[in-house]
A = this chain, B = another copy of it.
Amino acid sequence: MDGALPMTVPMDGLPARVRIHEVGARDGLQNEQTVVPVEVKAEFVRRLAEAGLRTIEATSFVHPKWVPQLADAEQLFPLVSDLGGVRLPVLVPNERGLDRALALGAREVAVFASATESFARANLNRTVDEALAMFEPVVARAREEGLRVRGYLSMCFGDPWEGAVPVGQVVRVCRSLTDMGCDELSLGDTIGVATPGHVLALLTQLNQAGVTTDRLAVHFHDTYGQALSNTLAALRHGVGVVDASAGGLGGCPYAKSATGNLATEDLVWMLHGLGIETGVDLGRLVATSAWMADRLGRPSPSRTVRALAGTTPRQEQ
């Protein structure tokens, strides 16, 4: 309390600690134009771990034809799998992807479902239910192998084709994912349109449908600048796992097509101001994102990175 910023002033009714699920290396780089060499990716993941992040989604075992930016998953995973105490979930789209992840010794996997028919069709070329049927054996086998399984659900609040997405529709797909054995659900606002009352309504209806808050994570995008206020609403409801992307990777500040991932630094600023533990060293994280922005050849879209990178102000240590 000696003038350091942000000043820490706790607020009632919030969790004491939040686990940040860092998605920059996977969701972030997957959406960047620049293809990053595997050594740089490995260094990025190591620096994220050194900055105190303890859940780092490393890569995706999707077919390289669909996501060329992550075609090096087989090369990358062994380079980072020795980081003590760091959880390294990987995305697996299907059984073939799970085979590849298991062969490398992955201990956590994630599947990626859609709450809307339009996006299921566009992204997976399936109906919502066909996609769920495809994931069912993947989740079952992962659990048999003792893996932890996360279910991503995209378009939980709005969809570019369908507009606003009814809460009940999202709840139904969430129930399917938990019923098939997902340990955790990440509720994605893929196009960034949610507002706090909508977030609270979804969380409340999920609880009423038997999906408890301790199994829920939130994944907000800053396309309309709403990610942190939505996060605050989720924290007040008791959510303790928040997805974010170091440096806001994946959301280019100059492109209209910005996906706008919530920047981990902006999240950490708020959480530390609220006295919520994250384990993250903000200065090291900012330095890591500034370093990665240099590799990508453009400034970081994170406001906190832009404000702090290269400075040595009276910020927290």
In the complex, residue of chain B having the shortest beta-carbon distance to the beta carbon of A310: B256
Q: CB < 8 Å: which of B164, B226, B233, B256 contacts A7? A: B164
Proximity bits, A282-301, B CB within 8 Å = 1, else 0: 00000000000000000100
Asked whether B163 lies within 8 Å of A2 as measured between CB atoms, the reply is yes
Residues of B within 8 A of A2 (CB): 163
Residues of B within 8 A of A212 (CB): none
In the complex, residue of chain B having the shortest beta-carbon distance to the beta carbon of A262: B225
Of listed A260, A263, A307, residue having the most chain B CB within 10 A: A307
Residues of B within 8 A of A4 (CB): 163-164
Which residues of A, 175-198, contact B by the 8 Å Cβ criterion? Answer: 192-198
Q: CB < 8 Å: which of B164, B229, B233, B307 contacts A224? A: B307
Known: A9-B198, A10-B197. 15 other contacts (CB 8 A): A5-B163, A6-B194, A6-B224, A193-B273, A195-B269, A195-B270, A222-B303, A225-B263, A225-B269, A225-B303, A226-B269, A229-B270, A232-B232, A232-B233, A256-B310
Asked whether A273 lies within 8 Å of B194 as measured between CB atoms, the reply is yes
Interface residues on A, range: 35 or more
In the complex, residue of chain B having the shortest beta-carbon distance to the beta carbon of A313: B160
Kindly state whether residue A113 has any CB partner on chain B within 8 Å: no
Proximity bits, A74-94, B CB within 8 Å = 1, else 0: 000000000000000000000
Shortest A259–chain B CB gap in Å is 11
Kindly state whether residue A157 has any CB partner on chain B within 8 Å: yes
In the complex, residue of chain B having the shortest beta-carbon distance to the beta carbon of A222: B303
Asked whether A275 lies within 8 Å of B197 as measured between CB atoms, the reply is yes
Q: CB < 8 Å: which of B197, B269, B273, B275 contacts A273? A: B197
Kindly state whether residue A306 has any CB partner on chain B within 8 Å: yes
Cα distance A229–B10 in the bound complex, in angstroms: 14
Kindly state whether residue A258 has any CB partner on chain B within 8 Å: yes
Cα distance A162–B229 in the bound complex, in angstroms: 27
**Ranked 3 nearest A-B pairs via Cβ:** A195-B273, A3-B163, A225-B266
Q: CB < 8 Å: which of B1, B10, B193, B228 contacts A164? A: B1
Residues of B within 8 A of A273 (CB): 193-198, 226
